[in-house]
Structure 1
Amino acid sequence: MKKLNIYLIALGLIAFGCDGTYTDDIVPVAPGSDEAAPTVVINFPLEGTQIRVPDETTTLNINFVVSDDIEIESVVVRLNGTEILQVSEFLDYRRFVKTFVHEQLGNGNHVLVIEAKDLSGKSTTETVNFEKVEPYSPVYDNEVFYLPFDGDYLELVSVEEATIVGSPGFATAGVVGRAYQGSSSGYLTLPTTGLTNDEFSAVFWYKVNPSPDRAGILVMGPPDPNNPTNQNFRNHGFRLFREAAGSMQRIKLNVGNGSGDNWFDGGAAADIDPSKNEWVHIAFSISGSNVAVYLDGEVVSQGSFSGIDWTGCDLLSVGSGAPRFSEWGHLSTQSLIDELRIFNKALTQTEIQTIIEAEKP
């Protein structure tokens, strides 16, 4: 009897809890008490999502949550009017969390509709319009990198998302669509895969904000092992930046050839007047014999050069000298940047002017 009593006591504790109260929180529901329609929350895709991949078709991971105050009866998912999923059995009859993988999503505009019904007949429908964008085809010969900054930080040739540091943003009035809006500590980084070629050119539009009085713009440099917290090793890669020159902002370029660094400073010819609040086109080209810097298609600095050394240059910084060109204070720019393109050749002046004519505001 002693063993039996212990067993019964244990059962009682399980059923009612140590304080004698019932532990199951399920409450019986009276008929007719279902007052609220289900809720449907679509987490992906969102309204206006643009899906960019290098392939003509891709998988779509549809993620959503359906909830009801009493009990879900059914969930139906439709894509472009075609039913692709129907669910009528639920482990948790009040909450349904689902990621459904739809195969072979093609290019173009798409409409996703999710409808949920509860046992009382109430229903809720949510709709999302999104787009799978055609893979980007480079516009210009030898173009290997393109960041348009049109609401995201996706590089379109490699389809690589930039890593975001700090809080950069977007300006609505770019040269073409939106533009990169610098912030006091924000910038982007990307891997340099496919960019470290014998010849190199970069072109972009820039609307300068003179505060702070100096900033990095575009940097591909190596780590500085002797100065890891304040880096400034300039024997490899390049550093494009700006500095105050009186009331002007002067564009400067430093390039490493492996044994030292070379400066391309155009002096007053490379000055931008911030008071004009205008877009200026900046370009530079590097070959095995020459480097040139351009403002609005005109040469502002050039000189002979023995060829760039890319040793250790595995990181591209956009909008700042950080993390690898920070010792002299060339940190985040608060200026606007738009239509950044990189080429695996040294562009000619004529080619740069052609790009300007095609894009200029």
Structure 2
Amino acid sequence: MKNLKYTLFALGLIAFGCDGTYTDDIVPVAPGTDVDPPSITINFPLQGTLIRVAEDVTPLNINFEVKDDIEIESVVIRLNGTEILTVNEFLDYRRLVKTHRYEELGNGEHTLVIEARDTSGKTTTQTVNFEKVEPYTPVYDGEVFYLPFDGDYMELVRVREATINGSPGFADGVIGRAYRGSSSGYLTFPTDNLRNQEFSAVFWYKVNATPDRAGILVMGPPDTANPNSQNLRTRGMRLFREAAGANQRIKMNLGNGSGENWFDGGAAADINPAADEWAHIAITISGSNAAVYVNGQVVSQGAFAGIDWEGCDVLSIGSGAPRFTGWNHLATQSLIDELRIFNVSLTQEKIQEIMDAERP
């Protein structure tokens, strides 16, 4: 009885101020005034979500919220027609926020249905269709990185998300969606599997000439002497564009450890932004040679003693930032699609094969 007495006293203090004033903002509801059906918000998965993981079977964390104006009676979750959860006890009878972990989600298309019922019999149902995509298998020998930009920034070989800087976006691409650059947006990835003595990258590029110069792909070392205007070129790789009259010229700079090598094809490497067309860009690096290709044709090549990747722990996509900003090669506002990186130096025939397979 003593405990009950103190409990009732405490509840009284909650409901009323010390001076006896009522302070709780909950308004009693008269019977028969239940007007609205429950509301359901599904936070994950969303409509059209593509779940990409390396495993064929993965857990799924279903996150949702249910609210009702009076009282929730029950919440049911069904996945592909099978009931996987029923909730009929609630700490807060007007609101349920929950994450339910479903342990074994397989590959394929899935339908999630959440149904909520209130005590007056009103029912609401929300449906989400999503897909667990089969793990990606590299298509080409030596392919170690593939970023299709199909509505997300997921690299598919290692299944890892880019670090997003600024506000890049998406546009219609060569295949599906494409990366759309912005005035400050770019992506970065770690380079632990990319620093190989043979290196190639291929992608599609639709040039926007604003700004008049920009970084495209950069794997450079930190420039500790110029932290706010980095431009150390004795190691790593820098692929970028610069204005050449009305055109944009594709250029590459490589560091061999003691110096730098330039691959500038001049007018042969020019792309006309006014054409509003996709161009295919490829670069190849080996211990003896490096080359730049535009639409399958060599625009610059030459002897190269081999690249030095020391300190090149960041791959930047869509900008020279943060490691190649000293000459103002910042974010491109162009489109990029179907980016693949290889641990081999591709032949011209292989580059042409990839182009033909992806050509719009």
Partner amino acid, structure 2, of 1:62: I
Shift of 1:141: 0.8
Quote the Cα distance in structure 2 between the aligned partners of 1:11 and 1:276: 74
Q: Secondary structure at the match of 1:337?
A: strand
Summarize the Cα distance change of 1:304–1:180 in structure 2 as closer, same or farther, 3 Å threshold: same
The CA deviation string for residues 226-255 of structure 1, in whole angstroms up to 9 with x for no partner, is: 000000001111000011111221111000
The CA deviation string for residues 122-146 of structure 1, in whole angstroms up to 9 with x for no partner, is: 1111010000000011111110001
Q: Which residue of 1 aligns with 2:4?
A: none
Q: Which residue of 2 aligns with 1:171?
A: 171
Q: Which residue of 1 aligns with 2:28?
A: 28
Quote the Cα distance in structure 1 between the aligned partners of 2:216 and 2:175: 19
Summarize the Cα distance change of 1:128–1:12 in structure 2 as closer, same or farther, 3 Å threshold: closer
> Which deviates more, 272-281 or 72-81?
272-281
Q: Which residue of 2 aligns with 1:293?
A: 292
Q: Which residue of 1 aligns with 2:213?
A: 214
Question: What are the residue-to-residue correspondences of 1:1-361 with 2, within 5 Å?
Answer: 16-172=16-172, 174-361=173-360
Quote the Cα distance in structure 2 between the aligned partners of 1:13 and 1:25: 14
Partner amino acid, structure 2, of 1:266: G
Summarize the Cα distance change of 1:14–1:305 in structure 2 as closer, same or farther, 3 Å threshold: closer
Shift of 1:27: 3.6
Shift of 1:36: 1.1
Quote the Cα distance in structure 2 between the aligned partners of 1:43 and 1:283: 40
Quote the Cα distance in structure 1 between the aligned partners of 2:349 and 2:11: 88
Quote the Cα distance in structure 2 between the aligned partners of 1:14 and 1:124: 34
Quote the Cα distance in structure 2 between the aligned partners of 1:295 and 1:280: 7
Summarize the Cα distance change of 1:241–1:12 in structure 2 as closer, same or farther, 3 Å threshold: closer
Partner amino acid, structure 1, of 2:291: A
Shift of 1:109: 0.4
Summarize the Cα distance change of 1:235–1:166 in structure 2 as closer, same or farther, 3 Å threshold: same
Q: Secondary structure at the match of 2:235?
A: coil
> Which deviates more, 305-314 or 243-252?
243-252
The CA deviation string for residues 56-115 of structure 1, in whole angstroms up to 9 with x for no partner, is: 010000000111111111111000000000011111111111000001100000000001
Quote the Cα distance in structure 2 between the aligned partners of 1:97 and 1:246: 58
Cα RMSD between the aligned structures? 1.6
* TM-score of the two chains, using structure 2 as the length reference: 0.95
Q: Secondary structure at the match of 2:234?
A: coil
Q: Which residue of 1 aligns with 2:5?
A: none
> Which deviates more, 67-76 or 11-20?
11-20
Shift of 1:33: 1.3
Quote the Cα distance in structure 2 between the aligned partners of 1:209 and 1:236: 28
Partner amino acid, structure 2, of 1:21: T
Could you tell me which runs of 5 or more consecutive residues in structure 2 were left unpaired when the two chains were aligned. Answer: 1-8
Shift of 1:23: 2.9
Q: Which residue of 2 aligns with 1:6?
A: none
Instruction: Report sequence identity in percent.
Output: 75
* TM-score of the two chains, using structure 1 as the length reference: 0.95
Q: Secondary structure at the match of 2:357?
A: helix
